[in-house]
Amino acid sequence: MTEETPTEIFLPPSFPYPIKISSVDAPASSTVQRGARLLSYSFQSTPQGGRPETRFGTWDCAVDGDIQAWNAQAGDTITAAQARDRPIVVMQEPCKHGMQLGGLCVLCGKDMTNSDYIGFSDTSRASIQMTHSANGPTVSLEEAQRIERETAERLVGARKLSLIVDLDQTIVHATVDPTVGEWITEGEAWEEKHRESNGNGVQPDDDDSDSDDEECNPNWEALKDVKKFKLGPESFGAPYEVKGKGKSIEQDGCMYYIKPRPGWETFLQGVAAKYEMHVYTMGTRAYAEQVCAAIDPDGKLFGGRLLSRDESGSLTQKSLQRLFPCDTSMVVIIDDRGDVWEWSPNLIKVVPYDFFVGIGDINSAFLPKAPTSNLPPSSTQALITQNSMALEAQVEGRPLAKMQEQLADSDDTAKEKEVSPTQDPKQPSHHKKALLKSQDNELERVAKLLDEVHQRFFDAHDASSSNKRKRGEDERDVTKIIPSIRCKVLQGVHIVFSSLFPMDTKPESSEVWKMARTFGAKCSAELVDGVTHVVAAKPGTDKVNHGAKRPGVKVVWAQWLTDCITLWRRLDEAPYLMDPGVDRESVLTHGVVVRDKDKHHHEAGNELEIGEIDWNDINDEVDAAMNESDDDEDEDAQGDGYRYRVWDPDDERYVELCSAPGTPRKRTRSRSATPSMPVDGGSPESKKRKLEGSMLKEAVSAMDVEEEEEESDEEEEEDVEVDDDFLAKELEEDWG
């Protein structure tokens, strides 16, 4: 055991200051035990309605140890300020009990639960929990600083940083819809049948079976790497009562299907060489352990460093201090949610992964719609029940099967319209279309950002170590490196906004203004010299018209800004230009971005994803919200289900799908697709086709803009700015 540092002891703040020391009862170099008298003092007290009188008191020691020095002597008068700023005595303790477990000191074995008249609890000396276990040891601030210092030295020696990794919709996407299991079974059976046929020398073409029954499930190719596991009823809360049902997932358990994000193996293995990774998830411990077992079976990547909602201390928020209570200068976070981290400067936000269309986050019931304080303890069971009901709705409603049927019905209807009267009806039927598409390269983008953060940190470290640069010490901090990378995204861009906030609001206080500044852009309220972009939500305004006439000024839809913010990269403005001669529906659509490597790949198949208008997730990064209503959520409802528009690459049109009735809409998370390649390059026509929507869930849909224009053209002149918050209106219309 290392030698303890001296303990500085202060007078209690509850003393009737000023006090006068009458005597020092334990001289320097003496050994005292808990409860021994240290000093006596006197003070003036004035009873109600009486005269001032002198009273006396004593002060007893709260710890064991040797007195090294006194900072006061008999006759000294101590004020409240002096007692607060200066220790009265310095002692050397044999043990400070800086690490405790189960009510015992880990270092000396003393019982920490004993209490007496002194009122000082030894358990309060080690209250910091920084391990990944809920029942792990707690430590003191001094011990936490020592542990983090040793960890930092170890990581720097290995040239690594710490990385906190979220699971759901960052690395994997999960669902409990049993349709997925049925599709996997169909695909496996189809492959087994064809293997047997090939083994018997029978070729598929020789078999006169061209019926739909012989066709492989169209989703099988994307489901081949899906992992599955079952969680028993002990993983859920107490069963809730459901009318008309005799059982629930809390009684029988639930089968989970996990789709790893494309490129996850390369990403995690590459990151592991430069970062020590910790999993931090809103899922339960049992769920998180199963997911980690699927993507890290040998434990080489995460090494058991897993923190779930069962240990984090909060069901709705994540805390960096839970694992790193003292120093976060070497910690990076990747998560698809920024609000749960209160937009920490350590955060690199990831575009949410939506493979299972319409499912959202499997643990979304625990995620706040907007940053809020921790919910009271009484709401804990309600949250658990809400999450269980959402899972039950997926199991019973089978939303994926419903949407696959609607996609097939829509495709059949379109094909019937195309059939010629002279066409042979016995021709083979067309192939079924897949609802699920495995197209995503978000992890490649995130890996590049992580590499840049790592490179800049250790460049600063090396420069500081070799005394090449005095500022190297300050630059060894990811909380400065990450914001500096972010602010270079729109460096050199000078923006004027049009129709993005109410006229009676100061532009500087609007959320979109603050976000643009956060990413390095300069903003102005009017068209002044030096303006490079007019970012608008609708055409025909005074700023749009004047900006279009200025040389060097680009008038773009608001999605250009939001997509730049999402990708942390300045995008080519060409696909976003507000051209009166171009139909916006052909350029900007309902929140879907598919960037393929070439035109032919684009025509072969596109990613089917869901996008909804929701500026909050971006705006909350600057600690503000758009004040939308949490209750107005159901305009997209169709009966008990919800409508989704997805792009059909074969028919080059949009198909409207509905989720299963009874499936809760994910109020807490609006999702968007992930890009497959940059927008830049190619002909104008190819750019229009590549940009089928916005990367951001905050994207403004073309249909909504056109409807808004039709309604507003009769009420106001084209050269007058809107007098209300355009984006807030769009959000309300979309959510009801």
Q: In what order do the strands lie in the sheet with 494-498?
A: 522-524, 494-498, 533-536, 554-557
Give the pLDDT band (50/70/90) at residue 434: confident
HEC assignment per residue over 106-171: CCCCCECCCCCCCCCCHHHHCCEECCCCCCCCEECHHHHHHHHHHHHHHHHHCCCEEEEECCECCC
628 alpha carbon, distance to own chain's centre: 20
Q: Which one has a higher pLDDT value, 712 or 312?
A: 312
Its CATH architecture, for the domain 1-94, is Beta Barrel (2.40)
Of 103, 138, 659, the closest CA to residue 407 belongs to 659
Contact 534, 554 (CB under 8 A): yes
pLDDT tens-digit map of 557-594: 999 999 999 899 999 999 999 975 554 444 444 333 33
Positive or negative: CA dihedral 523, 529, 535, 539: positive
pLDDT tens-digit map of 63-115: 999 999 999 999 999 999 999 999 999 999 999 999 999 999 999 999 998 88
pLDDT tens-digit map of 179-231: 999 999 999 998 888 887 776 655 555 444 444 456 788 889 999 999 999 98
Residue 245 pLDDT greater than 80, yes or no? no
Q: How far apart are CA 357 and CA 400, in angstroms?
A: 7
Give the pLDDT band (50/70/90) at residue 511: confident
Q: How far apart are CA 528 and CA 508, in angstroms?
A: 16
Residue 172 pLDDT greater than 90, yes or no? yes
Q: How far apart are CA 674 and CA 288, in angstroms?
A: 24
- Residue 77: what are its φ and ψ, rounded to 5°? -105, 130
Helix axes 511-518, 558-567, angle to 10 degrees: 40
Give the pLDDT band (50/70/90) at residue 650: low
Where is average pLDDT lowest: 13-22, 386-395, 421-430?
421-430
Q: Output the six-digit token pair for 239.
A: 């069963």
Intra-chain end-to-end CA distance of the chain, in Å: 64
639's torsion region: left (phi>0), alpha (psi -120 to 50) or beta? left
**Bond prior to 371 in cis (omega within 30° of 0):** no
Q: How far apart are CA 59 and CA 62, in angstroms?
A: 9
Return the pLDDT at 399: 72
Return the pLDDT at 290: 95
Which residues are known catalytic residues?
166, 168
- Residue 483: what are its φ and ψ, rounded to 5°? -60, -35
Residue owning tokens 């460093």: 305
Could you tell me which residues are beta bridge partners of residue 163? Answer: 277, 332
Mean local confidence (pLDDT), 674-681: 37
Say if residue 506 is exposed, middle or buried (CB neighbours under 10 Å; 0-12, 13-18, 19+): exposed
Could you tell me which residues are beta bridge partners of residue 138? Answer: 100, 129
Of 334, 566, 567, 584, the closest CA to residue 575 belongs to 584
Q: Output the six-digit token pair for 136.
A: 């792990």
pLDDT tens-digit map of 687-718: 444 444 343 433 333 334 344 444 444 444 44
Return the pLDDT at 685: 42
Q: Output the six-digit token pair for 597.
A: 């490597």
Give the pLDDT band (50/70/90) at residue 492: very high
The CATH 3.40.50.10190 portion of the chain extends over 487-735
Q: How far apart are CA 119 and CA 730, in angstroms?
A: 58
Helices (H), 200-237: 220-223
The CATH 2.40.50.100 portion of the chain extends over 1-94
Q: Which one has a higher pLDDT value, 394 or 70?
A: 70
Return the pLDDT at 609: 38
pLDDT tens-digit map of 130-163: 888 888 899 999 999 999 999 999 999 999 999 9
pLDDT tens-digit map of 375-387: 444 455 565 666 6
Mean local confidence (pLDDT), 253-276: 95
Residue 597 pLDDT greater than 70, yes or no? no
* 3 state SS of 715: coil
DSSP summary character for residue 388: H
Q: How far apart are CA 72 and CA 92, in angstroms?
A: 18
* ∠ CA 452-453-458, rounded to 5°: 100
Return the pLDDT at 236: 55
Contacts of 413 (CB under 8 A, 6+ apart): none
Of 659, 626, 613, 624, the closest CA to residue 640 belongs to 659
Q: Provide the 10 A C-beta neighbour count for residue 56.
A: 11
Return the pLDDT at 611: 39
Note the residue count of the chain: 736
Q: Which range is most confident: 105-119, 332-346, 710-724? A: 332-346
For the chain, give the mean pLDDT: 76
pTM: 0.69
Could you tell me which residues are beta bridge partners of residue 228? Answer: 257
Could you tell me which residues are beta bridge partners of residue 557? Answer: 536
Q: How far apart are CA 696 and CA 351, in angstroms?
A: 8
Q: Output the six-digit token pair for 66.
A: 């040797």
Return the pLDDT at 274: 98
Return the pLDDT at 39: 95
Amino acid making up residue 37: R
Contacts of 247 (CB under 8 A, 6+ apart): none
Positive or negative: CA dihedral 269, 275, 281, 285: positive
Q: How far apart are CA 310 and CA 418, in angstroms?
A: 56
Return the pLDDT at 512: 87
Amino acid making up residue 12: P
Q: Output the six-digit token pair for 467.
A: 């005394």
* Superfamily the domain 487-735 falls into: BRCT domain (3.40.50.10190)
pLDDT tens-digit map of 36-51: 999 999 999 988 888 8
Of 657, 562, 650, the closest CA to residue 609 belongs to 657
Give the pLDDT band (50/70/90) at residue 314: confident
Contact 263, 441 (CB under 8 A): yes
Give the pLDDT band (50/70/90) at residue 626: very low
Q: How far apart are CA 691 and CA 591, in angstroms?
A: 10
* Alpha-carbon torsion angle 309, 313, 315, 320, nearest 10: -80
Return the pLDDT at 364: 54
Rg (CA), the chain: 32
